[in-house]
């Protein structure tokens, strides 16, 4: 029998008081499965409350799985409360170190895991309060578009805003040449699906962005690595590889290259585009980390003006990984085809989160906020550089900005076993192997400078290198 004492003077809403009382009594087995609850009218009378209050409380309890509604008969305690322990997926350290493994680990949100391998900023560095403010604003605006699918190419004001931003990089792209996507990864996926068929050859940076390598393998593409130096892809090697292979696409990262942090030099950019013309391949330029670079720098799309270059960007790194807003800019004919692929595979992107990103970009705070991130990252990078030096690691180069340091572990040939051992200690490391197109052994590790200041990282690596 339900025991209920409702107090209208409490600050807790009446609906909530009923919900809590029933939940506790079901959890404590005072109300047992199958027991009937007082009819709505009766409970409202005895408690002197509105029937709507009882209906809303019962409906919430049904939604929460505590009650069941039987048509025409009333509400009953649900037959068995489904046990739904919110346990974390255990970190399986024995598991083979591969791309999917690394991504799963990175997305594991157990609070005790140190994510020295993450590809993003810590949540507390981001403008969470700004986002929340815009949520409230959108929630008050009757003209906010919260339910419609939106257009196939994505929210027009954001595409117009991107035109302005790309113009600052010297890239001319009207809104018609911009397609909004579910993060940069969907943009890369759409391009790859449209341009490649199983067996096709793709050139990639070696080392390069591992998650997209996994994507290309899923499509059945043949990956050929082009060695990556401090100035960009090694163009002499690229030229030699083009004697042997006929790639459809070269997928590369120009600014704050993942994982090395290196930029592309104008000379390398020019030679790369000349080769693309001569050998008739397209270039996918991933510029995900664009806004983390404090200065102007060379982009392929700036030279090429979206003739052979498909440019991909994102707001995941500076605004929110949760909103999943990315974009691509390309030739009109390609954008038309990519739009159809997007429609067939995902219908549309979220116009709602696109509005939110548009608000964040245009409220006048974004530039200052990003400058603060630059300063904070520069400090973290200096600290992490000193850490790697103390540990006796070789650093590939001192990046001009961004998240990453690429460090070589001393005395070992393959950093993958080290990453496995680190996972046991709940430290996530990104071993060089996963950044290589054929998963070749590598002594390198990628560090995220924003996550590298915890002393237990230094302790772990110090001990590990001493043992090696």
Site residues for a copy of itself, 268-327, by CB under 8 A, read: 319-324
CB of 429 to a copy of itself, least distance (A): 18
- Taking a C-beta distance cutoff of 8 angstroms, is the pair 105, 91 a contact? yes
Contacts of 271 (CB under 8 A, 6+ apart): 235
Site map (CB under 8 A) of a copy of itself, residues 58-87, x = contact: xxx-xxxx---x------------x-x-x-
> Per CB under 8 A, does 405 bind a copy of itself?
no
If the CB atoms of residues 197 and 246 are measured against a copy of itself, the closer one turns out to be 197
> Per CB under 8 A, does 47 bind a copy of itself?
no
Among positions 217-276, residues that touch a copy of itself (CB under 8 A) are 218, 220
Judged by CB under 8 A, the residue of 134, 293, 436, 446 near a copy of itself is 134
> Per CB under 8 A, does 94 bind a copy of itself?
no
Judged by CB under 8 A, the residue of 35, 91, 131, 397 near a copy of itself is 131
Report the half-sphere exposure of 453 (CA within 13 A, side-chain side). 11
Judged by CB under 8 A, the residue of 29, 51, 278, 367 near a copy of itself is 367
> Six-digit token pair at 65?
């799985």
CA distance 91 to 22: 37
3-state class (DSSP) for residue 70: strand
> Per CB under 8 A, does 51 bind a copy of itself?
no
> Per CB under 8 A, does 361 bind a copy of itself?
yes
For residues 222, 224, 228, 234, the Cα torsion angle rounded to the nearest 10 degrees is -140
CB of 99 to a copy of itself, least distance (A): 7
- List, in sequence order, every residue forming a beta bridge with 181; answer none if it has no partner: 326
If the CB atoms of residues 294 and 392 are measured against a copy of itself, the closer one turns out to be 294
> Six-digit token pair at 76?
């009953």
Among positions 144-183, residues that touch a copy of itself (CB under 8 A) are 144-152, 156, 160-161, 163-164, 167, 174-175, 182-183
> Per CB under 8 A, does 432 bind a copy of itself?
no
CA distance 64 to 77: 11
If the CB atoms of residues 120 and 451 are measured against a copy of itself, the closer one turns out to be 120
CB of 10 to a copy of itself, least distance (A): 18
- Tell me, by CB under 8 A, how many residues bind a copy of itself: 97
The DSSP line for 304-360 is H-SSSEEEEEESTTTT-TTT--EEEE--HHHHHHHHHHHHHHHS---HHHHHHHHHH
Q: In what order do the strands lie in the sheet containing 178-181?
A: 178-181, 326-329, 309-314, 282-286, 249-253, 201-206, 222-229, 232-233
Judged by CB under 8 A, the residue of 35, 55, 91, 391 near a copy of itself is 55
Judged by CB under 8 A, the residue of 25, 186, 298, 442 near a copy of itself is 186
């Amino acid at each position: 029998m339900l025991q209920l004492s409702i107090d209208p003077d409490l600050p807790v809403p009446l609906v909530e008081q009923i919900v809590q009382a029933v939940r506790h009594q079901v959890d404590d087995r005072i109300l047992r499965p199958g027991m009937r609850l007082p009819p709505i009218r009766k409970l409202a009378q005895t408690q002197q409350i509105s029937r709507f209050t009882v209906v809303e409380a019962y409906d919430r309890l049904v939604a929460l799985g505590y009650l069941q509604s039987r048509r025409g008969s009333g509400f009953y305690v649900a037959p068995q409360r489904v046990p739904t322990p919110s346990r974390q997926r255990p970190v399986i350290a024995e598991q083979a170190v591969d791309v999917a493994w690394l991504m799963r680990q990175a997305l594991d949100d157990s609070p005790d895991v140190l994510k020295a391998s993450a590809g993003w900023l810590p949540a507390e560095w981001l403008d969470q309060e700004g986002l929340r403010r815009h949520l409230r604003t959108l929630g008050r605006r009757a003209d906010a578009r919260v339910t419609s699918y939106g257009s196939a190419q994505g929210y027009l004001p954001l595409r117009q805003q991107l035109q302005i931003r790309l113009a600052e990089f010297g890239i001319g792209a009207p809104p018609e040449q911009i397609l909004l996507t579910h993060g940069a990864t969907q943009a890369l996926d759409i391009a790859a699906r449209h341009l490649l068929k199983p067996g096709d050859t793709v050139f990639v940076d070696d080392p390069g962005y591992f998650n997209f390598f996994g994507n290309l393998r899923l499509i059945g593409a043949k990956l050929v690595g082009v060695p990556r130096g401090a100035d960009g892809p090694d163009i002499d090697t690229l030229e030699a590889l083009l004697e042997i292979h006929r790639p459809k696409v070269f997928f590369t990262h120009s600014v704050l290259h993942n994982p090395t942090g290196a930029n592309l030099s104008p000379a390398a950019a020019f030679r790369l585009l000349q080769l693309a013309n001569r050998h008739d391949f397209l270039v996918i330029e991933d510029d995900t980390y664009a806004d983390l670079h404090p200065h102007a720098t060379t982009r392929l799309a700036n030279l090429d003006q979206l003739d052979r270059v498909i440019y991909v960007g994102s707001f995941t790194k500076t605004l929110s990984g949760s909103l999943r807003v990315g974009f691509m800019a390309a030739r009109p004919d390609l954008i038309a085809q990519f739009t159809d692929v997007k429609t067939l595979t995902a219908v549309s992107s979220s116009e709602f989160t696109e509005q939110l990103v548009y608000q964040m970009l245009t409220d006048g705070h974004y530039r200052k906020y990003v400058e603060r991130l630059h300063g904070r990252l520069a400090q973290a990078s200096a600290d992490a550089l000193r850490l790697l030096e103390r540990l006796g690691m070789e650093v590939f180069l001192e990046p001009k900005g961004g998240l990453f340091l690429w460090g070589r572990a001393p005395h070992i040939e393959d950093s993958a076993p080290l990453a496995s051992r680190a996972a046991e200690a709940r430290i996530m490391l990104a071993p060089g192997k996963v950044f290589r197109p054929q998963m070749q052994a590598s002594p390198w590790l990628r560090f995220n400078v924003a996550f590298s200041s915890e002393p237990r990282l230094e302790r772990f690596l110090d001990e590990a290198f001493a043992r090696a």
